[in-house]
Structure 1
Amino acid sequence: MSTKKDMIEFQLKGRGISDAGVLQAMEEVDRSLFVPDEYQDKVYEDRPLPIGKDQTISQPYIVAYMAEQLHLQKDEKVLEVGTGCGYNAAVVSRLVNKVYSVEIIEWLADLAKENLAKTNYDNITTKHGDGYSGWKEEAPFDAILLTAAPPSIPKPLKDQLKIGGRLLAPVGRLNQKLVLLYKTGEDEFEEKTLLPVRFVPMTGRADKGGSYGK
């Protein structure tokens, strides 16, 4: 059975995660709070685990990798699209000032609230809704993170990013890639492809052939 120390040393440091803040956040956040009882013996294994109804908690490495690629700062405000069970939001909350997270599946949004309440972290706000539209009332954001894959990045999310901000998302349906956008102007972006990934598809408006920004 893997321990938290194994996770940090072998799954994260051993695979190139070197940001001290990210490693500390991964150590601080108790993944066991987000995993059902029947999988507690697998909490620190580097793989997704079922959390019910065909949903999963992300593997520790990808959570750490995405946080590291965003280069998050303590004074920043972050939007997460796809709260899931709340684990990723909890990790990101240790690195920034405030996290806003949207979850389209109502029972998952409720589960995330329950799980996050156990952490006593007070800088995470969640809501049930379609993340395609972002969270306009709290925009603009320093960084935006998607944990479900749209066919292309929704324009409302790009609009809600500060100039100088970063957006990280898995993009595509069959062949997904992890894409990092830098907002360099009002409607100008630099794009960097990081690695092939496999995430659940983004549902809601993103799944209905909505209008997407390039």
Structure 2
Amino acid sequence: MNEPDPDTAERKMQFLFALRSRGVTDKRVLAAMEKIDRAPFVRGYFATRAYDDTPLPIACGQTISQPSVVGLMTQALRVGARDTVLEIGTGSGYQAAILSVLARRVYTVDRHSRLVREASELFRELDLTNITSRTVDGSHGLPEQAPFDRILVTAAAEDPPGPLLAQLKIGGIMVLPVGQSDAVQRLIRVTRTETGLDYDELMPVRFVPLLEGLGRDT
């Protein structure tokens, strides 16, 4: 059995310290982010920066989010062990992998079939059997599997999309970035109650826009 590389081990420790210092304090979330190594989700030229707390480019003009933002969004979602979660925007698959450690079942969708295909291969390699990946227009959600306990959106809309709100259970939570431009966005948490929707504004963020339709793979 190969001994772990001391340099890699040190970078992983610094990675977890950075998460805590930026406000990721939920023990379950930290444990999930320690368990799911970010390195397999960062390919090619940027692979050496897998443990940096920074967003990085991936295929199809998308990005893998900054780890501390992933942690804070996951923490805000308050995922329970029996929850079924819908993620809009599979991207690299990193966020879905972390959610899979915390939830009973994760459905993740993306408009780019290449991203879904590559993420699905990683999920199989990592033996993450409770994730279902699909290539669909995420702005419409996944109505055939609704309602969901939790919904996480990793692309910014001007307002929370109506179809996604409709797929949230009573007592369910959706976390998503909203904003009219990529320069001014806020992360919000929406909780569906018996009488309506409660909104909490969490922090400024910057995400790619939520687009309708299927994407061209590049």
Letter in 1 for 2:21: G
- Matched residue pairs, number? 203
Counterpart secondary structure, 2:191: strand
Structure 1: 5+ residue runs without aligned partners? 206-214
Counterpart secondary structure, 1:109: helix
> How many angstroms does 1:112 deviate by?
1.5
- For 1:50 and 1:194, locate their aligned partners in 2 and report how far apart those are by CA, in whole Å: 25
Letter in 2 for 1:81: I
> How many angstroms does 1:35 deviate by?
0.7
- For 1:133 and 1:15, locate their aligned partners in 2 and report how far apart those are by CA, in whole Å: 32
Counterpart secondary structure, 2:72: helix
Aligned to 2:211: 203
Query: 1:12 pairs with 6, 19, 26, which one?
Result: 19
- For 2:23 and 2:66, locate their aligned partners in 1 and report how far apart those are by CA, in whole Å: 15
- For 2:125 and 2:32, locate their aligned partners in 1 and report how far apart those are by CA, in whole Å: 16
Q: After superposition, what is the alpha-carbon deviation per residue over 1:13-63, rounded to whole angstroms, capped at 9, x for unaligned?
A: 112211110000000001111111322221100001122342211111001
Query: 2:47 pairs with 40, 44, 52, which one?
Result: 40
Contact 1:133 1:156 in 2 (8 A): yes
Contact 2:60 2:112 in 1 (8 A): no
Aligned to 1:112: 119
- For 2:199 and 2:60, locate their aligned partners in 1 and report how far apart those are by CA, in whole Å: 34
Question: How do residues 86-97 of structure 1 correspond to structure 2 at under 5 angstroms?
Answer: 86-97=93-104
Aligned to 2:194: 185
Letter in 2 for 1:51: I
Contact 1:178 1:197 in 2 (8 A): yes
Root-mean-square deviation (CA), in Å?
1.4
- For 1:30 and 1:106, locate their aligned partners in 2 and report how far apart those are by CA, in whole Å: 23
Letter in 1 for 2:186: K
Letter in 2 for 1:44: Y
Query: Could you state the TM-score of these two structures normalised by the residue count of structure 2?
Result: 0.89
Aligned to 1:163: 170
Question: How do residues 49-60 of structure 1 correspond to structure 2 at under 5 angstroms?
Answer: 49-60=56-67
> How many angstroms does 1:132 deviate by?
1.2
Query: 1:22 pairs with 24, 29, 34, which one?
Result: 29
- For 1:37 and 1:134, locate their aligned partners in 2 and report how far apart those are by CA, in whole Å: 31
My pick for the range that moved more, 51-60 or 86-95, is 51-60
